[in-house]
Amino acid sequence: MDNTNLDQKRLDAMLRITQNAIGTGLAGAVPLPAMETAKQLGIAVSDAWMFWDIYRIYFNEQITSEKLSEILNKAGMIIVTGGIVSYATLRVSQGILGGILTFVPVAGWLISGALTGSSSLIAGIFWTGLVESYYMAEKAEQEKAL
């Protein structure tokens, strides 16, 4: 396996994760009373777009529902289901906490932004691990076939 290519993919994925974490962190820091849950939905969409981009970085193609299903099946349904439930709970909790922190000028906004950005960072790193393990398995199968 070409480690230079893999290292470049890792770097590109980390840059994409960092961009998303900064963006979601800034969005999370903006106080929007009574709009926190809607803001968290927008942040979740941004995270989903990041996941899509990370897959594209590794496979140089758009993810299909079949490929997504394959990756999730290989990861294990317990891990995936737990991850999805945890992620959804996290976003709802951040929406509630963000609503409270809106009323704490500057410090509350900074805390809200840091929590939002760091959760996007962790989700991106987790997804990259799943995609990379799937990528490595596919490459190993291709090398065996040769």
Using a 10 angstrom Cβ sphere, with 0-12 exposed, 13-18 middle and 19 or more buried, the burial of residue 37 is middle
CA atoms within 13 A on the CB side of 82: 6
Q: What's the DSSP call for residue 105?
A: T
CA 41 to chain centre: 13
pLDDT value at 72 more than 80: no
pLDDT in tens, 32-61: 776 777 787 888 889 889 999 999 999 999
- Residue 68's domain comprises 3-145
As a whole number of angstroms, the distance between CA 18 and CA 117 comes to 9
Q: What's the chain's length in residues?
A: 146
* pLDDT at residue 109, rounded to an integer: 84
Q: How many domains does the chain have?
A: 1
- Other beta carbons less than 10 A from residue 123's beta carbon: 24
Give the residue-averaged pLDDT of 114-123.
88
How many other β-carbons are positioned within 10 Å of the β-carbon of residue 97?
Answer: 18
- The tokens describing 127, both together, are 């997804």
Q: State pLDDT tens for residues 10-31.
A: 999 999 999 999 998 888 888 7
Do the Cβ atoms of 30 and 109 come closer than 8 Å?
yes
Spatial separation of the C-alpha atoms in residues 123 and 125, rounded to whole Å: 6
